[in-house]
Amino acid sequence: MSKITVFGKGNMGQAIGNNFEASNNEVNYIDVGDAVENIGDIVVLAVPYPVALDIAKKNSQLFAGKIVIDITNPLDFETWDGLVVPSDSSAAAQIQKELADSKVVKGFNTTFAGTLVAKVIGGSHPTTVQLASDFDDAKNEIKESLKDSGLKVIDSGKLKRARELEAFGFLQMTLAANETISWTGGFGVFD
C-alpha cells in the first residue's frame, strides 16, 4: 500500500485519487492554497501546468525522494492553439528540472476524468494510463499501486516521451472541446 497525495480536488484529481483508493492505497488531497503537509510517497499534480510548476518550485525540498506524477497538458488556454513549453521539451521535463531530487513521471494526461471513472473509453475499450519517466522503479511503483483499479497501465518510455504524450493529450482535448469526440471518448491503446 502506498500513501498518495493529490494536489487538486477537481474532476481529474478526484478520479485519479479514487483509482488509487480502489487499489487500497491511502489518499489525501491538498487544494491549491492549503498548507502543504503529510505528503505521501507518490504526489499527483492534478492542477493546470502553471500551478503545477509553481507547486514544484515551492516544494522541491519537501518532494525530495518522492515520485511526482505530472498529469498536465500545457495548453495555451487563451488560444487553444499550442503548447506553452519549449518545442524540444515538455511540462514534465520542466517540472523535473525544478525537482532534481524527485522522480517525475508523466501520466494520466491522455485520459479524461470520465474515462478514469468508467474504466472504459467510448463505452467499450479499456482506459489506458501511459507512464513516461527516466525512473523505471517509479513507473513500476505506480503500476503496482493501481493494479486493482481496473485501469490498464503501460510504460511509454523515458521522460522524453512526455512531449509526445502532451501533444497527444492536447489533440484529444481540442477534439473534445470542438465536440468532435465526447469527454467520455478518446484514444485507446490496444494490444
**Residue 121 in domain:** yes
**Residue 187 in domain:** no
Q: Which domain holds residue 57?
A: 3-177
**Residue 59 in domain:** yes
Which helix or strand (DSSP H or E) is residue 19 part of? helix 11-22
How many CB atoms are closer than 10 A to CB 88?
8
Report the C-alpha gap between 45 and 41 in whole angstroms. 13
**Residue 189 in domain:** no
Find the CATH number of the domain harbouring 159: 3.40.50.720
**Residue 129 near residue 115 (C-beta atoms within 8 A):** no
Could you give the number of structural domains in the chain? 1
**Residue 135 near residue 101 (C-beta atoms within 8 A):** no
Which helix or strand (DSSP H or E) is residue 57 part of? helix 49-58
Per-residue pLDDT tens digits of the chain, which is 191 residues long: 899 999 999 999 999 999 999 999 999 999 987 878 889 999 999 999 999 999 999 999 999 999 999 999 999 989 989 999 999 999 999 999 999 999 999 999 999 999 999 999 988 899 999 999 999 999 999 999 999 999 999 999 999 999 999 999 999 999 999 999 999 888 888 87
**Residue 116 in domain:** yes
Whether the model clears a pTM of 0.75, i.e. scores above it, the answer is yes
